[in-house]
Structure 1
Amino acid sequence: MTVPITHLRPEECRPAQDAGLGALETERGNLPLESVDVTARVTGLVAGVEVTQAFRNPFDVSLEATYVFPLPPRAAVTAFRMEAGDRVIEGLLKERAQARADYDRALTEGRRAAIAEEDRPDVFTIRVGNLSPAERVTVRLTLSQPLPYEDGAAEFRFPLVVAPRYVPGVPLDGPPAGSGVIPDTDAAPDASRISPPVLLPGFPNPVRLSLTATVDSAGLGLREIRSSLHEVVREGDTISLRPGERLDRDFILRLAFDSSASLALTPDDGDPGEGTFTLTVVPPADAAAAGRPRDVVLLLDRSGSMMGWKMVAARRAAARIVDTLTTRDRFAVLAFDSVVERAFPGGLVDGSDRNRYRAVEHLARLEARGGTEMLSPIEEALGLLSAAAGERAGEPAGERDRVLVLVTDGQVGNEDQILERAAGRLGEVRVHTVGIDRAVNAGFLGRLALLGTGRCELVESEDRLDEAMEHIHRRIGAPLVTDITVRPEPLSPGGFDLVPGTVTDIGSLFPGVPLTVSGRYRGRPSGAMAVRGLTADGEPWERRVTGHHADSPAARAVWARAHLRELEDRYAAGDHSLEDRIVATSLRFGVLCRFTAFVAVDSRVTADGRPEHHVIQPVEPPSGWEMPMGAPMALGAVRSMAASAPMTGPMTAPMVAEAPITFAPPPPAGSGRRPSRGSSRGSSRGSSRGSSRGSSVAPVHEAPHSPETDLDADLDTDLNAVRPLLAEELARLRAVETTLPERELRRYLADLGSRLRVIAHLADDHAELSALAEELESAERPGARPSDLLRPGDLLKRAIDVLSALTSAPGHRAFWKRS
């Protein structure tokens, strides 16, 4: 049979103006989301926001529409409503599985319903089901969000698009969890819920966007309003987007306020005996200027052994380090496994708000994977610091502190190679190591800190992380006040007390950054709060803030959201016993979280059973991204590509992040990364001491000895082998004995204590050395009064005496040669 082919003239096959790839064209268009309206009211440092999304069914059959969209990560969603014609249905907050069951049952029975769920702190999904042909349905979300404040300005940031995310791992069998274009994988079991299809470049604007923000300074003294990324129109105190803007980038307003200390006490409705407090502490007005500017390179281990709570803790630690930087500093962030991934191309970047924000966003996306190739990133970091030394115009060489911070579990088998290659250059920079693990490679991380005369902090749990980061902050971020505690003044008949376990993370007080703390209280909304801490000189610092009765409905929701985030982080770190507590907290305070959902179900039947058509709303390509022109990539064929063999090279949009990401597959299960604790050692050694310390071991060389080669000693080494290290520390002590002011001397002695603790550990927990380390670390012990501490001069003399005695002591037989 012969079938003739008739050629069409161009005018016969011209594409319709509003048609998309594979879309059904109708007179009413082809996408269900008609408009997004955002109305915000900024009052002081809190914004109340209502988001309205209008859906329309453009098809001739019943429809279920799905929209994946972003919200601010710190926002508290407190209400949900569905409106259809004359029907208004208030959403109910329920446990997530129950809400889904109610939604599915309603669709099966032919009733209209909507559900709102949180999939990530900043990614949410709304489904609206059983829309009749040509019907319009509106859903409204009510939320409150705190505004970050720094250097005299607050920032209102509202995201408008979910950017494509790279998803590693092996695709899972079975039905997908969502309707997105990337399959679920073992690394991201809900990838299909956070990967909406992306519109082709040049697609006509499919959604009408309206955004207005009204600003009330609430007595803070508003000086200026600036918009970033969008063209706006200002009428009085109201700022609006110009018509025609697309949902392809964040909306940002920066508000110049004069901040002041305050304590707002907001009682609960119906229960005046309990409420929420919001404390704002302003940095001391007479604070000394920050220290010298810094060049900082942050190395973050994201290898497979960091999976679970360690990765959560490592990301938190790295983000807090980035937050301590100022505009005077320069920095780089390198994440490594089998490859090195950079937050910024090129060298060091200025510590501007934008760069720090991008760095923290980059860190938040990191997940554990691959092997631990540590030598290359350490060499790259040292190269960046060396190349950047004194290169800033008009700045003398050596006027900047050079700092390397390594966050890792240290589980590598090539310690000798790393130390051999890097030891000669580590003396040029200050090296701080943060070891995160319950079986951390303390010996290796201690050696790196010894060579870089820095601090070694070992973190065995997330509870220990905050204390460890306070120590690192003193070295990097130059905080004005650390180790802050808050406590109501002694209760009087009109006072209040705090509800245990409800106070949010306090942190430290930095120049130009007011500290905000919130929590729950019991009692009357009157009284005062005492805020105590330690200054950079180790002196006690205290402020008293008088409370005032406040009518701030957002305060309770903002606190609850922050509290839920802390609980969810602990859940993600492995404490799954918290699920019931998270659900109960979410339901009690009416704030959406990962374990709950809002569901609105109409009592009226509008269809014959479940919807006949399903559409997931495509999102805009993010502004500034280079999206592919090939049609199959844009709207859904990504699924088949992502389901292919493991990916080993950078992805192209729409799954690529802002900076190209290279991925090396993790080692096969069972291949192992950690050296066996009972493994064979060098031929000159006997059997190991055993595994009681839970640490990796490395080859140890007998001779020749020098401070560098002796660093190869591991946990089996006694005092004889670490004596050269003690001699090196003694020489450094004598060199700084008369050159450091008291404040710097306290820091140096506390750092020395952390290094001596590692050496004592290497020397079979040498009692005298351990005692000295304890004394030296007390030079900056949180909460200690100066009168409780030895004077720095006395500590210095004691350290010199002990180290002199230990370095000249007669040798003992090595542990492994004892009979």
Structure 2
Amino acid sequence: MSCCGLLTVQKEPVPLKSIEVELEVKDHVATLVSTLNYENKEDKPIEAVFVFPLPGDAAVCHFSAKIGQTEIVAEVKEKQQAREEYDDALSSGQQAFLLEESEESPDIFSLSVGSLPPGESASIRLEYVTELAVQADDGLRFCLPAVLNPRYQPQGSEGVSVQVTSVPASLVPYSLSFSARVSSPRPVSKVESNCSLDPLQYLNTEQTQATVKLAAGHKFNRDVELLIYYKDAHQPTAVVEAGQASAKPGTLMGDPVVMLSLYPELPQSVMSSLASCGEFVFLMDRSGSMGSSMNTWRSHQTRIGSARDTLLLLLKSLPMGCYFNIYSFGSSYEHIFPKSVEYNQKTMEEALKEVEAMEANLGGTEILKPLQHIYSQPCIPSQPRQLFVFTDGAVSNTKEVINLVKKNSGSHRCFSFGIGEGASSALINGMAKEGGGHAQFITGADRMQPKVMQSLRFALQPAVVDISVTWDLPKEVSVTVLSPPITSLFQGQRSLVYAQLTGQSSEAAEGCVTVKYSLAGHPSQNQLRFSLKPEGDTGSTVHRLGARTLIHSLEMEEREHRGQEDGGVKEKVVELSVQSGVSSSFTAFVAVNNCNGEPIQGPLLRRNVEITCVSFHCSHQGMAQMPFPSPSKIMKRALLVGCSSVHEAFSSVRALCQRQVLKSQILLHPGRTEPNQPPRDPLLQLVSLQKASGSWLLDPALAATLGKTSEEVEKTKPASVNQEVWATILALIWLHGFKMDAKKEWELLATKAVSWLRAQNAPGVSECVEAGNTLLRCNVQKGVLGL
């Protein structure tokens, strides 16, 4: 195993010297230009291979190389043809460059820089466009992946996994500079990041344009995440982009393409009534890497620890009478109940007992098998299935997993959560998209709970069905929709539709799109009128995103019909990819420098440029004194728990060491508890005491959580109410009085508590609220509590 990046014989790093990234955000679409600067300091020509992550839905649309003053622009060609041209160039002593997408996961690319002579420098320019996802707080999320975790190769799977060689972030030999320019029709409110930024600089008085830069000294230990906020952000819009003059009319690139951003307003009367039924299946990753910290640059709660806390909140927030089950997986999988059971106090307590004992000790990341088992279980009549998948993983069979979710999308909605740095965006986004659900990423200092509870609110909303999109255009204009049909709608979430417009229209012509759907038996519709006149200065961004959308759909179709008569789908993908200049799994970018004089002499040395991964830090007090296991012991551990790689074994051993430190601290400090014990955080402690019905019991544990003695709580209880009503009102006052900053986490379980109180029809509620405020020194009004 190498100790750092690209190495010379003398163990010195070479040749990737720096990465420069320029990001341009226009409203909710981003264009990224990345320049990779290479230098060969060896005395022989080399071939450098750099494997790196990109967003799974990015449209890679430009690749070029500059050697001295000579610039070579790559062409998109069928993948095998591109590889042969690259190999032929190297064998004849020419410089060549090859960029290709992994056939198994669209968020991994490999860049080969061939025949770089001794002392020579090369500058590689890569460009892609992508859509920005809408977050729970209405921010738009851009993520520059800086961490590529090794892809887990499932046992018995076919194909070759991408080989990822990783190094600790502190040893990565290249630097990163990052700047962003943001523009929108609406003012830019703020830009936030998980990394240190220089102050936001506005470029005009309207504050509709701004720039921001990554602060100097960024370490390669986390993805670079930007959250962009606009004022009055999410309004339905349409952008019409003119076709390319050089392209043939009637083709995708020659015709105008429209991008619709739809935000359907779902009827509030229906949305306010959350479902009281459903089958909720939670699938939890317990592979070795889940023992890692939630973030990598300071001591923090482990991923599995945060997942346990999240499952506690989820279980407390479920409605009475629904059904649920919890699966966990690693190299094997387990389930708490043989099949989903009705949610009540008994089953909730049984599940929580199992959740508290969960550790990251199941080895690898075999996600396909538990999914197959879940889908083999018959659905429960009148209980819509909602699947929640939690993983920090990256697997080599991403497309196989997504295909399985799509095949079963008619029977469930899938909500997916990527945990920690390097979680596969292709896997997380793909499962949610094909499963008609919603994807979330929890990185950096994010708390998992608010994002997961937002998805639970989506899951509890009645499903929107019978969705259709109809077009009203001038008779001389026809439309070809490039996007797959919309399968899910959620309040406040965007749906994007791309379409090719063929034919001529006047500059004043307008079009209209109508989205029709049914919600809880109520038919509804929303309309968007837009001008057919193309906007200026949009380049080819919309065309490329539309092409990538269509390519994704065709690739899914090809996989579904693999081995059958598929009507030449692969050929269609190659043709569209070449025409649009957008990457696909069947094509690659290739550039050959034919301007060389003499062929490059000497044997060609292959060098793999290694990238950052999560590395072990002695971050717990006392851990530095603990002997860390030798490599042989790590591999023994790998065999013991079924890990498939050193990476999995390393994470598993690290989690074991952390638990040993905590246990040793418990011996030294008897007042401390092990991480499996009920959480000491007051909010989670209060949540853990709530009953499945939504009520709380008046007992010493509740009093202690509220910061009172049992005597104080019992003495101040109004005589006209029973203990359970009093305890429940006290809990609600405490939540509203002290934990409003975490309202998104406890809102659903508080709603359940209010419903329980109303059902009791208990006397003296007003007196209880007044006495509770006095006891807890709060001023929460009865109406605020929902009573």
- Fold-level match, TM-score > 0.5? yes
Cα deviation for residue 492 of structure 1 reads 2.8
Q: Which amino acid aligns with 1:52?
A: T
For 2:606, the aligned partner's letter is H
Give per-residue Cα distances to partners, 1:675-732, cap 9 Å, x unaligned: xxxxxxxxxxxxxxxxxxxxxxxxxxxxxxxxxxxxxxxxxxxxxxxxxxxxxxxxxx
- State the secondary structure of the residue aligned to 2:554: helix
Question: What CA deviation, in whole Å up to 9, does each residue of 1:493-550 have, x standing for no partner?
Answer: 4xx32226x2334133212213222232323464323323234232222222122323
Q: 1:58 to 1:366 in 2, by over 3 A?
A: farther
Question: 1: distance between equivalents of 2:553 and 2:92?
Answer: 39
Q: Secondary structure at the match of 2:583?
A: coil
The number of residues matched between the two structures is: 520
Structure 2 counterpart SS, 1:558:
helix
Equivalent position of 1:125 in the other structure? 110
Opposite residue 554 of structure 2, the aligned amino acid is L
User: For residue 469 of structure 2, what is the aligned residue in structure 1?
Assistant: 486
Equivalent of residue 225 in structure 2, options 252, 262, 266:
252
- Partners of 1:60 and 1:344 in 2: CA distance: 51
> Contact (CA 8 Å) 2:403, 2:560: kept in 1 or not?
no
Matches within 5 A, 1:641-720: 648-650=641-643, 654-655=647-648
Following the alignment from structure 1 to structure 2, what is the Cα–Cα distance between the partners of residues 123 and 35?
A: 20
1:106 to 64, 78, 89: 89
1:348 to 283, 288, 311: 311
Q: Which amino acid aligns with 2:642?
A: G
Match of 1:215 in 2: 182
Question: What amino acid maps onto 1:575 in structure 2?
Answer: R
* 1:409–1:86 Cα change, 3 Å: closer
1:617 to 2:597 alignment: no
Distance 2:42 2:342 in 1: 57
1:522 counterpart residue number: 502
Q: 1:342 to 1:297 in 2, by over 3 A?
A: farther
Taking the aligned partners of 1:626 and 1:190, their CA distance within structure 2 comes to 35
Deviations 1:571-628 (A, max 9, x none): 3445353322221221122111111100110011554457531110111223788899
Counterpart residue identity of residue 199, structure 1: V
Assess, with a 3 A threshold, how the Cα gap between structure 1 residues 383 and 74 changes in structure 2: closer, same or farther: farther
Q: How does 1:411-450 map to 2 (within 5 A)?
A: 435=375, 445=378, 449=380
Report SS of the residue matched to 2:173: coil
Q: How far apart, CA to CA, are the structure 2 residues paired with 1:541 and 1:568?
A: 33
Contact persistence 2:237–2:261 (CA under 8 A): yes
Instruction: Name the residue aligned to 1:804.
Output: none
Please tell me whether residue 555 in structure 1 is matched to residue 542 in structure 2: yes
Q: Deviations over 1:53-76 (max 9, x none)?
A: 111112111111111111111110
Q: Does 1:198 align with 2:193?
A: no
Match of 1:590 in 2: 581
* Residue number among 226, 229, 238 corresponding to 2:211 in the alignment: 238
> Does 2:79 match 1:80?
no
- For normalisation by structure 1, the TM-score amounts to 0.55
Q: Which residue of 2 aligns with 1:278?
A: 259
Distance 2:82 2:611 in 1: 26
Please give the residue correspondences for 1:140-539 in structure 2 after superposition, counting only pairs within 5 Å: 140-150=125-135, 151-169=137-155, 186-187=156-157, 189-191=159-161, 193-195=162-164, 197-200=165-168, 202-203=170-171, 205-217=172-184, 219-236=185-202, 237-257=210-230, 258-270=233-245, 274-284=255-265, 287-288=268-269, 289-292=271-274, 297-299=280-282, 344-345=307-308, 348=311, 375=337, 386-387=348-349, 435=375, 445=378, 449=380, 454-455=383-384, 465-469=408-412, 476-478=459-461, 481-489=464-472, 491-493=474-476, 496-499=477-480, 502-524=482-504, 526-539=509-522
| Aligned residue type for 1:228 | N
Unaligned runs of 5+ in 2: 203-209, 286-302, 315-325, 354-366, 388-401, 414-434, 438-456, 656-787
CA distance, structure 1, for counterparts of residue 140 and residue 227 of structure 2: 6
1:207 Cα offset (Å)? 0.7
Contact residue 78 and residue 592 of structure 1 kept, 8 A: yes
Q: Match for 1:225: what amino acid?
A: V
> What is the letter of the counterpart of residue 42 of structure 1?
V
User: Which digits, 9 at most, give the CA deviation of each residue in 1:207-248, with x for residues without a partner?
Assistant: 11001110001x133222211244444333111111221333
1:259-285, CA deviations, whole angstroms, 9 ceiling, x for partnerless residues?
211222223112566232211122328
Q: Which moved more, 1:270-279 or 1:208-217?
A: 270-279
Q: Distance in 1 between matches of 2:18 and 2:263?
A: 41
Q: Following the alignment from structure 1 to structure 2, what is the Cα–Cα distance between the partners of residues 608 and 602? A: 12
In structure 2, distance between residues paired with 1:366 and 1:571: 29
Alpha carbons of structure 1 residues 216 and 573: separation in structure 2 relative to 1, 3 Å: same
Residue 56 of structure 1, aligned match among 35, 39, 44 = 39
Checking the alignment, whether the CA contact within 8 Å between 1:112 and 1:606 is kept in structure 2 is no
Contact kept, 8 Å, 1:287 with 1:480, in 2: the verdict is: no
How many Å separate the matches in 2 of 1:66 and 1:599?
14
| Alignment CA distance shift 1:594-1:605 (3 Å) | farther
5+ residue gaps, structure 1: 1-17, 170-185, 303-333, 335-340, 352-362, 392-405, 413-433, 663-819
Task: Decide whether aligned partners of structure 1 residues 45 and 626 sit closer, same or farther in structure 2, where only a CA change above 3 A counts.
Answer: farther
SS state at 2:642 partner: coil
The 1:659/1:533 distance shift into structure 2, 3 A limit, reads farther
Q: Deviations over 1:53-109 (max 9, x none)?
A: 111112111111111111111110111101110111110110010000000000000
**Cα distance in 1 for residues equivalent to 2:14 and 2:552:** 34
Partner in structure 2 of residue 786 of structure 1 = none
The 3 A distance-change label for structure 1 pair 477 and 140 is farther
> Once the two structures are superposed, what CA deviation does each residue of 1:169-192 show, in whole Å capped at 9, x if it has no partner?
3xxxxxxxxxxxxxxxx526322x
8 Å Cα contact 1:107/1:609 also seen in 2: no
The answer as to whether partners of 2:6 and 2:15 remain within 8 angstroms in 1 is no
* Partner SS for 1:284: coil
Mark the CA change 1:547 to 1:132 in structure 2 (over 3 Å): closer, same or farther. Answer: same
Matched with 2:48 is 65
